[in-house]
Structure 1
Amino acid sequence: MNNQNLTRALNLYARTLEFTHENEFKIKSYQNAAEKIEGFPYLISEDNMNDIEGIGSAIALKIKEIITTGTFSQFENFFSTLPESCMEFFVVPGLSPKKAGQIYRELNVHSIDEMLQASRENKLLALKGFGKKTQEELIECLEYYKSNKGKFLYGHAVPISQTIFKEIQQQSSTLKISLTGEMRRGSNIVSGIEFLAGFENEIPDNLNFNGLRKDDSNSAPLAWRGFYDFINGTPKNNFEKYLNLLFPPVPVEIIFCRKAEFFRKLFITTGSKEHLKPLLKNAPMIPMSEEEIYRANNLPFIIPELRENLFEWEMIKENKISEHPVTLSDIKGVLHVHSRYSDGKNSISELATHCMKKGLSYLGITDHSKAAFYANGLNEERLIIQKNEIEKINREIAPFRIFHGIECDILSDGKLDFTDEILKELDFVIISIHSNLVMNEEKAMKRLLKALENPYVTMLGHPTGRLLLRRKGYPVDHQKMIDACADNKVMIEINSNTYRLDLDWKWLKYASDKGIIFSINPDAHRTEHIDYMQFGVTMARKGGIMPQQILNCMGVERVGEIFERKG
């Protein structure tokens, strides 16, 4: 049992307690234990459990049981009393377990579909604590969940695809392999993982992909189809059934072709269909590369990420198709990182050391501001203490540099969480909306536009507040928002968190045309999150953004000059 699954087990148990209306203290104790285990740097075992502060003896016994058996009795007993369809209540983003429990008991609702039907028939209005607005929000929540079934985050699919890629290579060294389809185009949400495998004379015999489950009924001589399962084999207990709902099987397809056909087949399977339409007529039947296909159409090579029939043709006319699109190696530093001062898991020194080991030149610390009390946001006094610590560390680790910033909350009225006197003392300021997310477009735009007028704002963070597959963002007028950033010389973040990828790639071309400078940011809360940068780079490539348009593709001295000019 790894720490991640142990954390999930404790959080799930806390949710079952909410479902049955247990007391808040007990619920919170399990949530706190889960948080502590999530941040523990070593694999939890019976030997080191006592090294974690704040975990009581009762919870310690449950942790021991989970480590030993893979589940625990109360958890198994709870789900054995419910119809199996009720387990899905615990994986719907935004669905309160407490409310789900009330609906289950008082309306005898046993599934998501039944809950949605009861909501549409206004049956929830008869329940205590449910008004029309709450019911409407629940309908939206359930419909959004159902509409996203069978979809997966690009950032979650990437490590799975890398594992499968290695497995295919190990099966046969003679195969020529590439990702293809949505994954190769870098779509932020995908329906599965596709590979193209070219063979010389015949498909190697006895291919057996460990960790993959073949769907014989859907496979064909030149197409292996199946699934990557988070849980290997049939779930052995209710916790594994829950994990199977939380992380459903990912469809995998491996298309085989002769090596002579490989590049034409790669071009076709990469797509998109709309991008291919004007190009296939002139495409050679046996090209030696994809570049040859574009040359046959008198076009420059278009990277896979851009092939969406959205603005690649316009970029060609404007001579903006770059021979050197941004890559991860162009990134010189990271500028949206949280430390232990707020809700991060690492110290500033640990974060700086990690960045130096990755060959980066600078780090931007941007902990939450005081309004984000739930994230241990900094007040003025703690901000000064942090500033002093950063100055001390900078003296010790030069020429590497830590820039002192803040992720400052945009309050409900559009004002910022700190005064100008505080903000002007920082190296840079990211502004973001974290609270009161339910608002109409007029309210959202009024809030954003006022905040963007502050002269000390450096960049706008996760501009729409969306969490892919979990919640929609608040409604914004993208053009007005981007125009305001341009007018006020405010940069825009490409947030690399797998759930955010915000600003959406579809709006990067418009922002680029307005002269916006971008910053690809990991929004990291622990050292491992620095690796999120790869997903932001993919989105920048998808939006046609070049390295010279990206702040953290610039050297440390240049970034420092830009920050000083803004301040």
Structure 2
Amino acid sequence: MSNREISSILEEIGTILELKGENIFKSRAYYNAARIIRYYPESIAEIVRKGKLSEIKGIGEALTKKITELVNTGSLKYYEKIKNSVPPGFLNMLKIPGLGPRKIKILYDKLNIASISELEYACKENRLLALQGFGKKSQDNILSGIKFLKKYYRKHLFNEAIIEAENVKEKLSSIKDIIRLEIVGSIRRKKELIRNINIVASSNDPEKIIRHIITTEGVKGGFTDGKSKIIYSYFFTDISIHLYVVPDDKFPYALYYYTGSSNHIKLMEKRAEKFNLKLNEDGIFRGDSLTVIKDENDVFQNLGLSYIPPELREGLDEIEIAEKGEIPELIKNEDIKGIFHIHTIYSDGSSSIPELIEVASKKGYEYIGIADHSKSAFYANGLTEEKINQQHKEIDNLNNKNNNFKVFKGIECDILPDGSLDYSDDILEGFDFVIAAVHTHFKMSERGMTKRVIRAMKNKFVTMLAHPTGRLLLGRERYSINMKKIIKAAKDYNVIIELNANPYRFDIDWRLLKYTKTKGVKIAINPDAHSLEGIYDVNYGVGIARKGWLESKDAINTYTLNEVQNLFKEMKK
């Protein structure tokens, strides 16, 4: 059992305890243990086998017993018991933005509401207006949240889906009759939200593989055509798994076909017809004769195209560009030489600057850019002028000790409602770079928000614009803003636009990256890290950058230390 699987169950227990109105310290103990285990660098299952689980700080005796039972048996009696003690609709209601366990308990105790459909009906009947702690604004927000939830029903954040997919792939790889195995679908194409996990496997006996999976412990669902396809999931996740098992000689075709997208495949099928060929999941046929291929590249060569990377296969203009042989060499993780927008313990981060340097150095980076919150972000322990001076002294001392590594002094500076910045120019001048960001007053008109952000971008000390639409995937819609005007302003005022690599954001949207690139605006792939683990989100950001057709030269993270230093100096002139 993986760390993530254990963590998910402990987190759900904590949530259920909170829903039941149990002692808050009891639920916090489960939340804390879930967080520790999720990010623990070693396998918890292996630690359990060694009998050393209780040595981990934050895992007490009671939790040690429960986690040991979960790892050794694959189930937990306490979890099953407590899960059955609350209405099943409670956990779904928690997915509504802004609706927490305390409010759900009030709704149940006072109005006997135990599901999303009951809650939606009650809101439309105005039954929350007189309920203490709610009112019209809360009722309207809940209805908006339900609408939002329906829009993104059964979708998952990329980072959650890829971890589950890797876990599933690992489980399948232990089946001896499987020859080849790859994750396909929207995960391989690096979509920002994922509905299903799609996997292609090859075997000399596909039906045997399907039968094996149906009878595997922990599998639920198990709908199958009996031959080559099975749709199922595991009890610890609600992400549906679509597994396609094909003979090994059909694997390259299946890898291509099930990577998608459906729009891309339809266009390729039409193109095949122009060559008197037929393309489907079984291969490329001329009449009844199958064209033998060794890999995906042969699919494109047979249709007169250069290779199209999976991230670009969305049925837009990739086929026309591949026909001209003009598909660019996309940016890679190995191209990244440093990262910006990292938070520390000076504001709301959990790591010190030396700790961040250590992790970044191990990744082979030449530099990092610290950017804690500015003073208006009091909720995030934003930096006063005194704390700025303190942090800058520490950075200077660290830079003096590290000749081969550089820490840039930065700030994530709030854009105030009128477009002014959170510090005076005298303060901003002391930073190596300034990231301007909107964190409040999201409900302005498109014209007002656009004007607000552009005014901030005009400030000569602003280096980058952070998460330009303010969206939180599966949590908050983007605010109204004219991004084409923002991109034009970025070009006019020499501002870098952030591709926020946090999987909750992925903002700027990949659909705008190609346009941004054509306008000559540079991108910074920033992790917006609040922990050591958050640094690794830059890898997700590179996937989104690839999806947006970015090359190495388009992102400043690929610049050498000297190139970045020169860039920042030029931008401040």
Give the alignment's TM-score, normalised by structure 1: 0.84
Q: Is the 8 A contact 1:459 1:490 kept in 2?
A: yes
Instruction: Report whether the alignment pairs 1:8 with 2:14.
Output: no
**1 CA distance for matches of 2:30 and 2:194?**
33
Match of 2:174 in 1: 170
Match of 1:156 in 2: 160
Aligned positions of 1:18-167 closer than 5 A = 38=35, 64-69=61-66, 83-128=87-132, 130-167=134-171
Cα drift, residue 375 of structure 1? 1.6
Q: What amino acid sits opposite 1:328 in the alignment?
A: N
Match of 2:310 in 1: 304
Cα drift, residue 414 of structure 1? 1.8
**2 CA distance for matches of 1:10 and 1:170?**
30
Q: What amino acid sits opposite 2:149 in the alignment?
A: Y
Match of 2:73 in 1: none
**2 CA distance for matches of 1:344 and 1:524?**
8
**2 CA distance for matches of 1:289 and 1:80?**
49
Cα drift, residue 484 of structure 1? 1.7
Match of 2:265 in 1: 276
**1 CA distance for matches of 2:563 and 2:135?**
54
Cα drift, residue 199 of structure 1? 3.1
Q: Of 475, 478, 489, which aligns to 2:480? A: 475
Q: Is the 8 A contact 2:180 2:202 kept in 1?
A: yes
**2 CA distance for matches of 1:166 and 1:134?**
44
Match of 1:501 in 2: 506
Q: Of 404, 407, 417, which aligns to 1:402? A: 407
Residue 191 to residue 407, structure 1, CA distance change in 2 (3 Å): same
Q: What amino acid sits opposite 1:221 in the alignment?
A: K
Q: What amino acid sits opposite 2:507 in the alignment?
A: D
Q: Tell me whether 71-80 or 381-390 shows the greater mean CA deviation.
A: 71-80
Cα drift, residue 321 of structure 1? 1.8
Listed one character per residue, the Cα deviations across residues 17-36 of structure 1 (whole Å, up to 9, x for unaligned) are 8xx6x9xxx86997699679
Residue 261 to residue 74, structure 1, CA distance change in 2 (3 Å): closer
Cα drift, residue 174 of structure 1? 5.9
**1 CA distance for matches of 2:8 and 2:511?**
35
Q: Is the 8 A contact 2:339 2:527 kept in 1?
A: yes
Instruction: Report whether the alignment pairs 1:196 with 2:200.
Output: yes
Task: Please state whether the residue corresponding to 1:122 is helix, strand or coil.
Answer: coil
Cα drift, residue 130 of structure 1? 4.1
**1 CA distance for matches of 2:217 and 2:362?**
32
Q: Is the 8 A contact 2:297 2:307 kept in 1?
A: yes
Q: Of 437, 440, 445, which aligns to 2:450? A: 445
Residue 361 to residue 165, structure 1, CA distance change in 2 (3 Å): same
Residue 365 to residue 320, structure 1, CA distance change in 2 (3 Å): farther
**2 CA distance for matches of 1:499 and 1:130?**
27
Residue 425 to residue 173, structure 1, CA distance change in 2 (3 Å): farther
Cα drift, residue 219 of structure 1? 4.7
Residue 178 to residue 46, structure 1, CA distance change in 2 (3 Å): closer
Cα drift, residue 73 of structure 1? 13
Aligned positions of 1:183-332 closer than 5 A = 183-200=187-204, 207=212, 213=219, 215-230=221-236, 248-280=237-269, 281=272, 282=275, 284-285=284-285, 286=291, 287-313=293-319, 315=321, 321-322=327-328, 324-332=329-337
Q: Is the 8 A contact 2:267 2:315 kept in 1?
A: no
Q: Is the 8 A contact 1:211 1:229 kept in 2?
A: no
Cα drift, residue 126 of structure 1? 3.0
Q: Is the 8 A contact 1:361 1:555 kept in 2?
A: yes
Residue 171 to residue 423, structure 1, CA distance change in 2 (3 Å): same
Task: Please state whether the residue corresponding to 1:198 is helix, strand or coil.
Answer: strand
Q: Is the 8 A contact 1:172 1:204 kept in 2?
A: no
Unmatched 5+ stretches in structure 1: 53-59, 231-247
Listed one character per residue, the Cα deviations across residues 216-236 of structure 1 (whole Å, up to 9, x for unaligned) are 333521113311442xxxxxx
Residue 544 to residue 211, structure 1, CA distance change in 2 (3 Å): farther
**1 CA distance for matches of 2:81 and 2:162?**
36
Task: Please state whether the residue corresponding to 2:230 is helix, strand or coil.
Answer: strand
Residue 487 to residue 39, structure 1, CA distance change in 2 (3 Å): farther
Percent of aligned positions that are identical: 33
Residue 15 to residue 512, structure 1, CA distance change in 2 (3 Å): farther
Instruction: Report whether the alignment pairs 1:333 with 2:322.
Output: no
**1 CA distance for matches of 2:61 and 2:444?**
45
Residue 305 to residue 429, structure 1, CA distance change in 2 (3 Å): same
Listed one character per residue, the Cα deviations across residues 378-430 of structure 1 (whole Å, up to 9, x for unaligned) are 11111111111111111112211111111111222222111111111111111
**1 CA distance for matches of 2:189 and 2:530?**
28
Residue 379 to residue 28, structure 1, CA distance change in 2 (3 Å): farther
Q: Is the 8 A contact 2:195 2:240 kept in 1?
A: yes
**2 CA distance for matches of 1:249 and 1:458?**
42
Listed one character per residue, the Cα deviations across residues 47-71 of structure 1 (whole Å, up to 9, x for unaligned) are 665xx7xxxxxxx9xx654444469
Q: Is the 8 A contact 1:369 1:379 kept in 2?
A: yes
**2 CA distance for matches of 1:111 and 1:405?**
46
Q: Tell me whether 433-442 or 463-472 shows the greater mean CA deviation.
A: 433-442
Task: Please state whether the residue corresponding to 1:125 is helix, strand or coil.
Answer: coil
Cα drift, residue 362 of structure 1? 0.9
Task: Please state whether the residue corresponding to 1:387 is helix, strand or coil.
Answer: helix
Q: What amino acid sits opposite 2:241 in the alignment?
A: V
Task: Please state whether the residue corresponding to 2:396 is helix, strand or coil.
Answer: helix
Q: Is the 8 A contact 1:7 1:38 kept in 2?
A: no
Residue 211 to residue 489, structure 1, CA distance change in 2 (3 Å): farther
**2 CA distance for matches of 1:423 and 1:89?**
44
Instruction: Report whether the alignment pairs 1:512 with 2:517.
Output: yes
**1 CA distance for matches of 2:201 and 2:563?**
44
Unmatched 5+ stretches in structure 2: 45-51, 71-75, 286-290
Q: Please, what is the CA RMSD of the aligned residues?
A: 3.4
**2 CA distance for matches of 1:27 and 1:83?**
20
Cα drift, residue 175 of structure 1? 1.3
Residue 14 to residue 352, structure 1, CA distance change in 2 (3 Å): farther
Aligned residues: 532
**1 CA distance for matches of 2:7 and 2:221?**
29
Q: What amino acid sits opposite 1:168 in the alignment?
A: L
Instruction: Report whether the alignment pairs 1:412 with 2:428.
Output: no
Listed one character per residue, the Cα deviations across residues 271-324 of structure 1 (whole Å, up to 9, x for unaligned) are 2222223323245433333323323333221111111122425655897521x2
Match of 1:523 in 2: 528
Give the alignment's TM-score, normalised by structure 2: 0.83
**2 CA distance for matches of 1:84 and 1:404?**
49
Match of 1:238 in 2: none
Q: Is the 8 A contact 2:347 2:381 kept in 1?
A: yes
**1 CA distance for matches of 2:306 and 2:54?**
60
Cα drift, residue 154 of structure 1? 1.6
Match of 2:47 in 1: none
Q: Tell me whether 539-548 or 408-417 shows the greater mean CA deviation.
A: 408-417
Q: What amino acid sits opposite 2:167 in the alignment?
A: T
Q: Of 556, 561, 567, which aligns to 2:566? A: 561
